[in-house]
Amino acid sequence: MAPVTEVLRYTPKEGLADSDHQGTLSEASKTLLQQPGCKGVHSSPALEEDNKTHYIFIEWDSIDSHVAFTKKDIFGPFFGKLNAVFDGSPNVYHASLSPEHPPVLHNAEGKGGAKTAVVELLHVYFPGGEGFTADQMASTAKNVQEFLGQLRGNAKGHTGEIALGWVVEELEFKGEKSRSFIFAIGWDSVEAHMKYRETEHFKKVVPLIRGLEGLKGIEMVHVSTKTW
């Protein structure tokens, strides 16, 4: 089985103290890192002021290793403690990202020591089920790779680090089950990314993404992860 990144998207409970939140994540990460096949745990809030979503990225050597952990006796108490910080149920899924265990998601909270300080994280949605063919999936990946290749040498502040791949499960988007393609782009700062979006080069190459066949929508946030 190929390596995967487990993604948890969640909103913390209203009024939860940051110290309690971080303490729970620290304890959960220690348990995760003791599990066979767990290669790393990273977390970050969305950096946008109007977005309360938080992310946990858990790197596994395979989905089988993650599933094996969920079948252990310790999983119930583990998830019970972690679930105490969630406002509602978290959105949990796996992404087959390339490169494996992507360095672009290792950001040292933007405090130095990592090549990428900030990540532009995009989820791109397409029809689910048989409504999106293997040929369309291949075309999507090709166009995204071409777009990402255009950034090198043309986007000031782009670190050169990227990751991309399909989500294993179908995700809900606007009330419908959908296929999702994730890509992550490394930047020196949020400001560097936003300035690039104002350039003529961005306007020239962004149709590679906005014109993807079957595109239902795009979600974009910035994150800067802490490694546990």
16 Cβ contact list (under 8 Å, min separation 6): 85
3-class SS of residue 113: coil
Per-residue pLDDT tens for 203-213? 999 999 999 99
Average confidence score pLDDT of the chain: 97
pLDDT at 84: 94
Per-residue pLDDT tens for 146-203? 999 999 999 999 999 999 999 999 999 999 999 999 999 999 999 999 999 999 999 9
End-to-end Cα spacing for the chain: 25
Distance between CA 172 and CA 170 in Å, rounded?
7
Whether residue 6 has pLDDT greater than 90: yes
pLDDT at 57: 98
User: Which domains does the chain show, CATH number per domain?
Assistant: 4-95 (3.30.70.100), 108-221 (3.30.70.100)
